[in-house]
Amino acid sequence: MESIVSVILAAGQGKRMQSSIPKVLHTVAGSPMLSYSLELAKSLGIKKRMVVLGPQAEKIKKEMSCTENGITYVYQEKQLGTAHAVQQTEPYLINFSGIVLILSADVPLLRTSTIQEMIHCHKNNQASCTLLTANLEQAEGYGRIIRNEQGKITGIIEQYDLIEEQEKIKEINSGIYCFNSKELFIALKMVNQNNYQKEYYLTDVIKILIEKGYLTVNITALDSEEITGINTRMDLSRVSRAFYQRNAFNHMLKGVTIIDPGNTYIENQVEIGQDTIIYPFTIITTGTEIGGSCHIGPYSHIINTCVGRGTRIYSSVVERSKIGNQTMIGPYAHIRPESIIGDEVRVGNYVEVKKSFIDKGSKVGHLTYLGDATLGKKVNIGAGTITCNFDGKKKNPTIIKDGVFIGSNNALVAPLTIGQDSYTAAGSTITQDIPTNTLGIARSGQKNIEGWTEKRNKKETK
Ligand code: UD1
Ligand code: CA
C-alpha cells in the first residue's frame, strides 16, 4: 500500500508501568508489545512503517532489530504529547499526500480486519479523519467522544479534562486513526497545551478539523477488547490473557484439544498437530512445534522446542531441544538446551539432560544427569547414574554406544567411551574407556565378616 504510511506512537515513558524497561518492550504472550503494531502494519501491506521513539530509543531499536527490518525510527526528544509525537514525522512525509494511519504501540490486540474496515470507511466517506471508537462499560482512563444533538462528532476530551456530566460517556477513543496527510499536518500546527496535563494532544486535531469544515467519521470496534490500551501491569496481564485465549481457540479450531484454555499459556508462532492434547498449567513458548497425537502437560514448560508425533511430556521443562516420535518425557524431567532426543526414548523421573544426544529406544528412567553425552540405540542407564562432564575447567564428552547397559548409581567420569553391548556394574565409578562386549566394574570388593553381629552384642552386654 503505497498510499498509506503508518506511524506507531511509542515514545511515551509508560510511567504507570513503574518499570525500568520501556513499556513497549514488555512482552505480551511472548512478543514485545511493539512487535504487534509493526506486524499489523506489515499485514496491511504498508511499506513505510514509522515508529516514534523517546529516550529509550537505542534499547528499543536494538531489541527490535532481531526480528524486524525496514522500519523508519523517528526521534521525539521530549515527550510533549501525542500530537507532538506525530509532528516529528513531518520531515519524513514532505511529499506524501496519502493516508497516515496512526497506531499506538500499547494497543496490541487490534486485528488487521478492523483496520482494513477503518481504511475502507475512510476512503468511502472521503473523510479527513476516521476514528476507531468503542463503547465501554468501564470507560475511565480513555478519551471520550463528544457528539452534538444531531449525533455528529465534535471532538474528544481526555479523562483529566472531563467535566462531571461527560464522565458518563461510554464512547471512547481508541487512539487509532486514519488521517489525510495534508490536513493532519496543518491541524497539528494549531494544537496547544491548554489542558490539565499541559501536553499537545493528538485528540485536539479532531476538533480543529471539524471546525475547519473537514469531515471526521468513526467506526466502532465490535469487539471492544481489541482496543484495550496497556498502561499498567494490570492491563498487561488482562491483554496477555486475551492473547492466550485467542491462541488457544485458534489451535482448538485446527484440531488440538486444550482441556482448560484459561490455564494454558500458548505464545504466538507455535505449531501444534491434530489430536494433540494440552493439559492445564502448561506454557508453550514462541517457536515451538509439536506434532500430532501428543500429550503435553499438565505442568509442563516447553520452550522453543520441536516435538515429534505421539510423544508424551508430563510435568517437565524442555528448553530449545528436539524430541522425537513416541517418546516419553517425565514426570519431573529437565531437558536443557541443545539436546536431541530420538524416537521411542524414555526419559523418566528426576532426570536432567544437558546438550546430549539420545538415540532411538534408549531408556534413562530415574534420577540421572546426562551432560555432553551421546547415547546410541537401546542404551539403558541405571537409576542414579551421572556423567561427570566437568573437570573444573572444561566440559568433556561421554560416548555410550548401542546396546550398552549402565548399572545403577554409576559415576561416568568424562572423557569416556563405552563400547557397544558392554555392561557396567552397579555402583561403579568408571574412569577408563570400556571396549565392546565387556563388563566394566570399578568399585571396591565386598568382604563379609561372619558372626560379627554376635560378637558385637556380647561386647555390649559385658
Ligand atoms: C491516548 C489518547 C486517548 C485514548 C487512549 C487510547 C491522547 C491525548 N489521548 O491516551 O484519547 O483514549 O490513548 O489508548 O492522544 N506517546 C508518544 N509521545 C508522547 C506521548 C505519548 O509517543 O509524547 C505514545 C505513547 O508511547 C503511547 C501512545 O502515544 O504508545 C499513547 O500515549 P498514552 O500516554 O498512553 O496516552 P493515553 O493517556 O493512553
Ligand atoms: Ca495508552
Grid cell listed for 419: 563400547
Q: What percent of the chain has pLDDT over 70?
A: 100
User: What is the Cα Rg of the chain in Å?
Assistant: 31
Looking at residue 431, what is its pLDDT? 98
Q: Is the CB of 146 under 6 A from ligand 1?
A: no
pLDDT, tens digit (0-9, with 9 covering 90-100), for 181-193: 999 999 999 999 9
Looking at residue 69, what is its pLDDT? 77
Looking at residue 1, what is its pLDDT? 58
Ligand nearest to the CA of 105: 1
Is 41 in contact with 8 (CB distance < 8 Å)?
A: yes
Q: Is the CB of 221 under 6 A from ligand 1?
A: no
Least confident window among 70-74, 198-202, 365-369, 402-406: 70-74
Looking at residue 42, what is its pLDDT? 96
* Alpha carbon of 106 to ligand 2 centroid (Å): 6
pTM: 0.90
Looking at residue 461, what is its pLDDT? 81
pLDDT, tens digit (0-9, with 9 covering 90-100), for 207-238: 999 999 999 999 999 999 999 999 999 999 99
Cα separation of the two ends of the chain? 102
Closest residue by CA, ligand 1 atom 3: 143
Grid cell listed for 452: 560379627
Question: What's the mean pLDDT in 194-218?
Answer: 97
Residue 456 carries which side chain, given as an amino acid letter? R
CA–CA distance, 243 with 228 (Å, rounded to integer)? 12
Q: Is the CB of 308 under 6 A from ligand 1?
A: no
Query: What's the half-sphere exposure (Cβ side, CA atoms, 13 Å) at 169?
Result: 25
**194 pLDDT band (50/70/90 cuts)?**
very high
Residue 44: Cβ within 10 Å count = 16
CA–CA distance, 462 with 417 (Å, rounded to integer)? 55
Residue 439 carries which side chain, given as an amino acid letter? L
CA–CA distance, 50 with 59 (Å, rounded to integer)? 17
Of 84, 122, 301, 366, which one is the catalytic site residue?
366
* Alpha carbon of 177 to ligand 1 centroid (Å): 12
State the helix-helix crossing angle for 33-43 and 57-65, rounded to 10 degrees.
60
Q: Is the CB of 104 under 6 A from ligand 1?
A: yes
Strands 386-388 and 333-335: what pairing?
unpaired
Question: What's the mean pLDDT in 285-304?
Answer: 98
Closest residue by CA, ligand 1 atom 35: 231
Q: Is the CB of 133 under 6 A from ligand 1?
A: no
Closest residue by CA, ligand 1 atom 29: 9
* Alpha carbon of 172 to ligand 1 centroid (Å): 13
Mean pLDDT over the full length of the chain: 96
**2 pLDDT band (50/70/90 cuts)?**
low
pLDDT, tens digit (0-9, with 9 covering 90-100), for 15-40: 999 999 999 999 999 999 999 999 99
Q: Is the CB of 176 under 6 A from ligand 1?
A: no
Which residue from 350, 370, 360, 455 is spatially nearest to 402, judged by alpha carbons? 360
Q: Is the CB of 257 under 6 A from ligand 1?
A: no
pLDDT, tens digit (0-9, with 9 covering 90-100), for 364-412: 999 999 999 999 999 999 999 999 999 999 999 999 999 999 999 999 9
Is 77 in contact with 5 (CB distance < 8 Å)?
A: no
Looking at residue 68, what is its pLDDT? 77
CA-to-CA separations, 335 to 318, 368, 369, in angstroms, rounded = 5, 12, 10
* Alpha carbon of 229 to ligand 1 centroid (Å): 9
List CB contacts of 287: < 8 A, sequence separation 6 or more: 269, 270, 304
Is the pLDDT at 135 greater than 90? The verdict is yes
| DSSP 8-state secondary structure symbol assigned to residue 368 | E
DSSP 150-163: TS-EEEEE-GGG--
CA–CA distance, 156 with 98 (Å, rounded to integer)? 24
Kindly give the number of the ligand 1 atom that is closest to the alpha carbon of 174.
6
Tell me the residue ranges of DSSP E strands in 63-170: 71-75, 99-104, 129-135, 144-147, 153-157
Q: Is 26 a catalytic residue?
A: no
- Dihedral sign computed on CA atoms, order 27, 33, 34, 37: positive
**460 pLDDT band (50/70/90 cuts)?**
confident
| DSSP 8-state secondary structure symbol assigned to residue 47 | S
- Residue 142, classed as helix, strand or coil, is coil
List CB contacts of 109: < 8 A, sequence separation 6 or more: 36, 225, 226, 227, 228, 239, 242, 243
Which residue from 387, 385, 380, 444 is spatially nearest to 413, judged by alpha carbons? 387
* Alpha carbon of 220 to ligand 1 centroid (Å): 19
Question: What's the mean pLDDT in 73-82?
Answer: 96
Task: Give kind and range of the element (H or E) at residue 124.
Answer: helix 112-124
